[in-house]
Amino acid sequence: ERDGTPLAAQRDLPPATPMSHRSSANITRDAWPQAFSVWFVFLVTFVVFPGVTLHWTPAEHAKVVLAVFQFMDIAGRSCAEAERFRVTNGRTVSLMSLSRIVFVPMFMAVQRADGEWARSLWVKVPLMSAFSFTNGYVSTLSMMIGPVQKGVAEHEREFVGTLMSFGVVHGILWGSMLALTTQLGI
């Protein structure tokens, strides 16, 4: 028995119909902007978090900073769900994703600076709040827009959703790999 249908009955089923008339490459060509956006969101996030933030001083601030990340990430995801705050323009979401690159030098500056300002929670909490809120907000918007963006037919949405998930996983992978360079002084 598979999928709740007895195996004997499955032999009588007609062959599966193709999901799309277009090739996977053509669907990907239409869907790549938001797949890239969600990839870039997670790439930036994992380049500096948690690695760089765990080296911020004093070490006692780590718990506060991690808690702020968790809370604000969820807040960002929730705002993306709210109609009032939903952005439906794919280019705007892609621009928001790309603009998150400013967090990399900011986080590294806080890690490497000797000044008293870099040790202050008054710097770290707002920085982490903006970083984590945009992580949740922009990644959720990208995932929402991806399968319904221009050029993607309704029967192609499942494939695009899989492509979007691929973007998330590879953003985490490549961000984690690049995070190693942040501790080498690069």
**How many Å apart are CA 112 and CA 7, to the nearest integer?**
63
Is it the case that residue 172 has pLDDT exceeding 90? yes
Residue 71 banded pLDDT, cuts 50, 70, 90: very high
The predicted-structure confidence for 104-121, as pLDDT tens digits, reads as follows 999 998 888 888 888 888
Q: Which of 52-61, 98-107, 159-168, 170-179 is predicted with the least confidence, judged by mean pLDDT?
A: 52-61
pLDDT at 13: 40
pLDDT at 163: 87
Is it the case that residue 64 has pLDDT exceeding 80? yes
Q: Per-residue b/e over 44-83, b at no fewer than 16 CB within 10 Å?
A: bbbbbbebbbebbeeeebbeebbebbeebbeebbebbeee
What are φ and ψ of residue 114, in 5° steps? -95, -15
Overall average pLDDT of the 100-104 stretch: 96
The larger pLDDT score, comparing residue 186 to residue 101, is at 101
The predicted-structure confidence for 2-45, as pLDDT tens digits, reads as follows 555 554 444 554 444 454 478 888 787 778 888 999 999 999 99
pLDDT at 18: 52
* Structure token pair of residue 30: 């239409």
**Average pLDDT of the chain to the nearest whole number:** 85
